[in-house]
Amino acid sequence: MLQKLGKQVMIFDGAFGTELEKRGIMAKMPEMLNITNKEAIAEIHKSYIDAGCDFITTNTFGANKIKMGDANLREVITAAIELAKRHRTSQYVMMDIGPLGKMLYPLGELQFDDAYEAFKEMVTIASPSVDGFILETFSDLYELKCAMLAVKENCNKPVITTMTFDASGHTLTGTSPRIMAELMSAMGADAIGVNCSLGPKDLKPIVEEFLQYCDKPIIVQPNRGIPTLKNGKATYSLTVDEYATYMNEFREKGVAVLGGCCGTNPNFIRTIAVNKGLPVTPRQVRKETIVTSATRLVTLDGIRICGERINPTGKKKLKEAILNEDFEYIYKEAIKQEDAHAEILDVNLGVPKTDEVGNMKKVVMHLNEITSLPLQIDSSNVKALEAGCRYYNGICLINSVNGNKDSMDTIFPIVKKYGATLLGLTMDDNGIPKTAEERFEIADRIVKAAEADGIARHRIIIDTLTLTCSAQQPLVKETVKALSLVTKQLHVKTALGVSNVSFGMPNRELINSTFLTMALQNGLTMPIINPCNSMMLNTILSFKALTGTSADIDNFINMSVVQDIAKPAESSQMTLHDAIKRGLKEDSINLTNEALKSTDPMVIINETLIPALNEVGDEFEHQRIFLPQLIAASEACKEAFAIIKSRFQQTDSHKGTIILATVKGDVHDIGKNIVKVIFESYGYKVIDLGRDTAKEVIRDAYFKSNPDIIVLSALMTTTVLSMEDTIAYLKSEGVKCPIYVGGAVLNQILAKQINADCYTKDALEFVESVEKRK
């Protein structure tokens, strides 16, 4: 198959559902027909074989344990393959794998590892008896990546991957054809493209994007237009000839595999099969150094800022956050950097005595959803590095490999398996060489070895390594010179961790920005910096304005205006009390810092913060203010508390500990998060277990942190049962503290029925009743 694929035009079969419908066969699970109506299935396959296709797709689209539960999958899949083979002559039998029908965590509930197991089961049953796999109709890149890993790690058969795109030009979860093509190609798919989605006419721009960026053979299997549905029947309007005309155009432009999806039938396939065996039209593919998330592609064709803030080296607060598993701190850092114009984020969680592998998995999964920025997975622990790559959604940047053979032997396979881009450091067993030429030599070694191993040059970025000027001043010039050599002679993109240069020096900002300018002038593509530092950001903006296009000048002017507006007002008569009541975060922070210069922290809490909060609460109760204002005031107060808390040094300064969770089965968490903000604003320590929380997790958290109260939230009537179950379980396991409940569907009576110790109607009442207990 691989000898033909991409060289001569090949034909896939068409729709299965439409053919079943035509025969009057309806089934909730069409895969069961492999057992209950073998003749019909074999007959449909035969009709496509007679129509002239090269590939037959098995009737196994949904034959997975998530969709089919207890069904005997082995029996269903084995029968499907047998039926596909029954009338075949020279056709390739492709095991069909579709999405699992559940959204992957953290947006949904299905864990990546569970999804992997479901795909793996299909792959291992089918692989001995099929010619290859087709992963089709995916709309979530993350799920497709998971399925792809299940194929690649469990067999070595060819694999074709397709996704569905809509008229907006991307998948339902926001992935563009280019992002999909780049990731699938880097992970080793043998043909890549689009199926289902729309009719061929509307697919044109999507196919164009594949033609421009996909370096693997392209497959196109459109629908027969968009159907109308009446009394359970779909009606399509596109004719065979219209369909064939569009498909012919695709073939002329360079599409290598043609087929059909919903609404097509053997007539359609027969008509497009006239293209069979024609040479595939050659095309030019653009190759650039890129990194991507699922929804955003960053091309390193200009200066791209990599945010350095999620790296504990020299950052005490982050180190503490990682030690305490306070991941929200990390997520906030990510958002802050994105808002400050970072385009890639470094993620390094290396703190001794922590579970770096587990933490990396957790943090990467959540960052996939919270930020659209691509990530640089950064660790000296290979297992953590691999965990980061595995659970990442897109093409990440791996930091890093060096010129040492062992390092390359370890890292290259990870790059290939996960389709990542690679950061190479110009050092080896002998350390960092002194001269630029020696560093260039290592860069050259890495690039050549990677290319020999199948990792193309454009997938590599070289870091020529910054040394501190206080200790090794003569070597600063060498780093910069090496940038120039790598850029001009190796033609690869470059990176530098800029701020290392000023360790031990006064006026670090100035040194950093001067060094940054020198580096940019010598070809630095990806400065790894703190984007929240305005001097560094401004250096880049001004450098671009001086060396780039007129758009860079406009950008510089616009940004300068924004920064001027953002400067704080000179003087303010506002008090901390007012700032909190009005929910002004920045003012609350400034005024708290001001107050701490002359007032005891406890006095600020008792005489300003708590009275302000109580007044806000009172106004809320009397409906003079409403939820958004209550939350704004609470958030402002929380900021003030955080500053005061940092003054208490090591002493445990909170008023009490609360465990907070939305119960199992409920994915709504906005109500729970409101409660969290209000509790924190009153100075409580909140352990937030998140949503959809298993009762065992709550029990474990109870015994670990001995809270004063457990608060459970549920939004739906259905999850109240889960709440009841959770309460009964916790009490039987020896939980002694009171269990409070809240949520839209609960009331006093229901709360009592499910054995909760207390119910309140809103977040504020919660805090009040907890305060009263003291």
Query: Which residues are at the interface with other proteins (CB under 8 A)?
Result: 28, 99, 101-103, 106-109, 139, 164, 166, 168, 172-174, 196, 229-232, 295, 328, 331-332, 335-336, 369-371, 583, 623-629, 631-632, 634-635, 665-670, 673-674, 677, 692, 716-719, 722, 745, 747
Contact 95, 130 (CB under 8 A): yes
- Taking the least distance from each CB to other proteins, the nearer of 697 and 737 is 697
Q: How far apart are CA 648 and CA 125, in angstroms?
A: 61
Q: Name the minimum Å distance from CB 130 to other proteins.
A: 25
Q: Name the minimum Å distance from CB 632 to other proteins.
A: 4
Q: Which two tokens stand for residue 572?
A: 């303010």
- Taking the least distance from each CB to other proteins, the nearer of 401 and 741 is 741
Q: Which two tokens stand for residue 141?
A: 């890149």
- Taking the least distance from each CB to other proteins, the nearer of 101 and 314 is 101
Q: How far apart are CA 494 and CA 460, in angstroms?
A: 9
Position of tokens 């579709």?
98
Which backbone phi and psi does 574 adopt, to 5 degrees?
A: -70, 145
Q: Name the minimum Å distance from CB 338 to other proteins.
A: 9
Q: Name the minimum Å distance from CB 715 to other proteins.
A: 9
Which backbone phi and psi does 36 adopt, to 5 degrees?
A: -90, -20
Strand order in the sheet with 685-688: 685-688, 657-662, 709-713, 739-742, 758-759
Name residue 15's amino acid.
Answer: A
Q: Which helix (H) or strand (E) holds 661?
A: strand 657-662
Q: Give the CB-side neighbour count of residue 411, counting CA atoms within 13 A.
A: 29
- Taking the least distance from each CB to other proteins, the nearer of 273 and 349 is 349
- Taking the least distance from each CB to other proteins, the nearer of 4 and 102 is 102
Contact 422, 398 (CB under 8 A): yes
Contact 384, 395 (CB under 8 A): no
Q: Which long-range contacts (CB under 8 A, 24 or more apart) does 18-25 make?
A: 18/234, 18/262, 18/263, 18/264, 18/265, 19/44, 19/47, 19/265, 19/266, 20/44, 21/233, 21/234, 22/265
- Taking the least distance from each CB to other proteins, the nearer of 1 and 66 is 66
Cβ contacts of residue 378 below 8 Å, gap of 6+? 311, 346, 347, 348, 385, 399, 400
Q: Name the minimum Å distance from CB 523 to other proteins.
A: 34
- Taking the least distance from each CB to other proteins, the nearer of 66 and 610 is 66
Beta strands in 515-649 (DSSP E): 526-529
Class of residue 332 by CB neighbours under 10 A (exposed 0-12, middle 13-18, buried 19+)? middle
- Taking the least distance from each CB to other proteins, the nearer of 180 and 214 is 180
- Taking the least distance from each CB to other proteins, the nearer of 235 and 573 is 235
Cβ contacts of residue 142 below 8 Å, gap of 6+? 104, 112, 173, 294, 368, 393
Q: Name the minimum Å distance from CB 369 to other proteins.
A: 5
Q: Name the minimum Å distance from CB 560 to other proteins.
A: 24
- Taking the least distance from each CB to other proteins, the nearer of 335 and 603 is 335
- Taking the least distance from each CB to other proteins, the nearer of 196 and 280 is 196
- Taking the least distance from each CB to other proteins, the nearer of 296 and 493 is 296
Q: Which helix (H) or strand (E) holds 92?
A: strand 92-97
Q: Name the minimum Å distance from CB 747 to other proteins.
A: 6
Q: Which two tokens stand for residue 162?
A: 């397709």
Cβ contacts of residue 446 below 8 Å, gap of 6+? 401, 402, 403, 408, 424, 460, 462
Q: Name the minimum Å distance from CB 574 to other proteins.
A: 15
Q: Give the CB-side neighbour count of residue 17, counting CA atoms within 13 A.
A: 16
- Taking the least distance from each CB to other proteins, the nearer of 608 and 673 is 673
Name residue 443's amino acid.
Answer: A
Q: Name the minimum Å distance from CB 717 to other proteins.
A: 8
Q: How far apart are CA 423 and CA 444, in angstroms?
A: 13
Q: How far apart are CA 227 and CA 127, in angstroms?
A: 35
Q: Name the minimum Å distance from CB 187 to other proteins.
A: 23
Please name which of 401, 375, 210, 377 lies closest in space to residue 291, comparing C-alpha atoms. 375
Q: Name the minimum Å distance from CB 236 to other proteins.
A: 14
Taking residue 292's Cβ as centre, other Cβ atoms within 10 Å add up to: 29
Q: Name the minimum Å distance from CB 241 to other proteins.
A: 26
Quote the crossing angle between the two packed helices 508-521 and 469-485, to the nearest 10°.
Answer: 20
- Taking the least distance from each CB to other proteins, the nearer of 563 and 718 is 718
Q: Which two tokens stand for residue 293?
A: 């998330």
Q: Which two tokens stand for residue 269?
A: 């396939």
Q: How far apart are CA 272 and CA 239, in angstroms?
A: 13
Contact 757, 740 (CB under 8 A): yes
- Taking the least distance from each CB to other proteins, the nearer of 563 and 717 is 717
Q: Name the minimum Å distance from CB 235 to other proteins.
A: 11
Name residue 627's amino acid.
Answer: L
Q: Name the minimum Å distance from CB 423 to other proteins.
A: 27
Q: Name the minimum Å distance from CB 116 to other proteins.
A: 18
Beta strands in 403-482 (DSSP E): 421-425, 460-463
- Taking the least distance from each CB to other proteins, the nearer of 320 and 339 is 339
- Taking the least distance from each CB to other proteins, the nearer of 602 and 745 is 745
Q: Which two tokens stand for residue 3?
A: 């000898």
Contact 302, 548 (CB under 8 A): yes
Q: Which two tokens stand for residue 616?
A: 């806000």
Q: Name the minimum Å distance from CB 563 to other proteins.
A: 20
Q: Name the minimum Å distance from CB 19 to other proteins.
A: 16
Contact 611, 619 (CB under 8 A): no
- Taking the least distance from each CB to other proteins, the nearer of 122 and 367 is 367
